[in-house]
Amino acid sequence: MKEIIIETFYKIIKVPYQFLFKKNDSWNLNVSDFLKYPQDSLGFHLGCFLLKYNFNVQPSLEEHDVYHVLTNTGATVKDEIDMQFYLLGNGKRSPFVFIVIITGLFFYPLELKNFIKTYKKGKQAHLFHHLDFSKMLTIPVTTIQQTFNIK
């Protein structure tokens, strides 16, 4: 039930959040475009992630799915909360990060220990949340993960 509440909340805030805070350009790529990249590349893995979860590319929000790929995070509500704790640890400060974290703490208070562990993993990684991933689509995922100590 809490997953449904959180997903509904996300759907409600998504459009105003995008309008108010996301000013970056769309990559103008679709899932099949990503799958044309080399098999070890960020672009290919992003396409596979989108296919696996039956997602479409969300214009101007592409980097969000890149975070899922780089941190090996799934797409459940709990996975999303974990990933936002990781990104907070990595230095990302955005309204979305704080909304998800506050919501996560409210609905999953017993997971606090795990959230803190994930936060610390994000702190141990080199800053990567600010990168222009659209220019990194041909780079192997493992190279990016090793370079930025993403675990």
The predicted structure's pLDDT at residue 58: 87
In DSSP terms, 140 is beta-bridged to 41
The predicted structure's pLDDT at residue 86: 98
The predicted structure's pLDDT at residue 1: 73
The predicted structure's pLDDT at residue 9: 67
Phi-psi region of 72 (alpha: psi -120 to 50; beta: other; left: phi over 0): left
The predicted structure's pLDDT at residue 89: 98
Cite the DSSP H helix spans in the chain: 2-21, 31-34, 42-52, 62-70, 77-89, 95-107, 112-124, 141-147
Give me the amino acid identity at 146: Q
CA-to-CA separations, 37 to 33, 40, 46, 138, in angstroms, rounded: 7, 8, 10, 6
What is d(CA 76, CA 20) in angstroms, rounded to the nearest whole number?
A: 25
CA-to-CA separations, 25 to 62, 72, 134, in angstroms, rounded: 10, 25, 10
What is d(CA 14, CA 8) in angstroms, rounded to the nearest whole number?
A: 10
pLDDT per residue as tens, the chain (151 positions): 777 877 776 777 766 666 666 667 889 999 999 999 999 999 999 999 999 999 999 888 899 999 999 999 999 999 999 999 999 999 999 988 999 999 999 999 999 999 999 999 999 999 999 999 999 999 999 999 999 999 9
